[in-house]
Amino acid sequence: MNKKKLALLTVLVLLIAAFFALDLKRFLTLESLKVNQAALARLHAEHRLAFVTAFVAIYVIQTALSLPGAALLSLAAGAVFGAVMGTVYAVIGATIGAILAFILTRYLFRDAAEKKFGNRLEGLNRELEKSGVNYLLFLRLVPVFPFFLINLGAAMTAMPIRTFIIGTFIGIIPGGFVYCNAGASLASISSMSDIASPRVLGSFALLGIFAIVPAIYKKIRGKVTGN
């Protein structure tokens, strides 16, 4: 790893370490959001543009550094901005943050991954070139796969950044709306498990299956026709 990459990696590690050392996670709890909801709404009413900009920036940083708290930030977006605009701001912040995480990971680790796993990645990279959006949509929609791991894992492949952006932006809208819509009725939520009910998770899984069906069809058809 060259000096530029090492310096960048050091900065990122220090930022992540500072988050935990300062215990900033204590502000990203359901209880804290409920206590501060009125104050946040007042700040938004008094300084709309600055507040929205700050919120999106915080979401970007949280996602880019793969820090905990994304679900809580989406709840906060719904609680302060409402379900629709909250979803807009949350999706924008999460998408930009995911893009930064993708770029940083690819810049720092892709060369090393290719040297170590180059032959094993060839088949995967060919699949991603053909049906990358379908696979990414499946991963984004099915709630089994952690958001930050998808960002990091995709960066280690040859997935084009355009495919990553499209798949991420579209794929996180349903989940983002669910959390923002729940945040708009914050008083009725007693725990995070109230949001991610089995019925909601099942719906996401179904959407994910629909997203990957075209890729599976192409693969089967290719084997049948010998292409």
d(CA 138, CA 149): 14
**Is 187 exposed, middle or buried (CB count within 10 Å of its CB: 0-12, 13-18, 19+)?**
exposed
Neighbours of 138 (CB within 10 A): 23
Please indicate, yes or no, if residue 23 is contained in any of the structural domains.
no
Q: Is residue 17 in some structural domain?
A: no
**Interval 196-219: pLDDT, tens:** 666 666 777 777 777 777 667 566
* pLDDT value, residue 210: 75
Residue 2 lies in a domain: no
pLDDT greater at residue 97 or residue 131 = 97
HSE-up (13 A, CA, CB side) for residue 6: 3
Question: Does residue 4 belong to any structural domain of this protein?
Answer: no
Residue 168 inside a domain? The answer is yes
Kindly report, residue by residue over 66-97, the tens digit of the pLDDT. 999 999 999 999 999 999 999 999 999 999 99
Domain-located, residue 7: no
How many domains does the chain divide into?
Answer: 1
- Domain enclosing residue 103, as ranges: 28-225
In a domain, 114, yes or no: yes
Where do we find the tokens 């605009």? 85
Helix or strand holding residue 52 (H, E): helix 48-64
Q: Is residue 68 part of a domain?
A: yes
Range in 17-26, 131-140, 176-185 with the lowest mean pLDDT: 131-140
CB count within 10 Å of CB 52 equals: 19
Entry pTM: 0.86
pLDDT tens digits for range 25-39: 999 999 999 999 999
On whether the CB atoms of residues 51 and 5 are closer than 8 A, the answer is: no
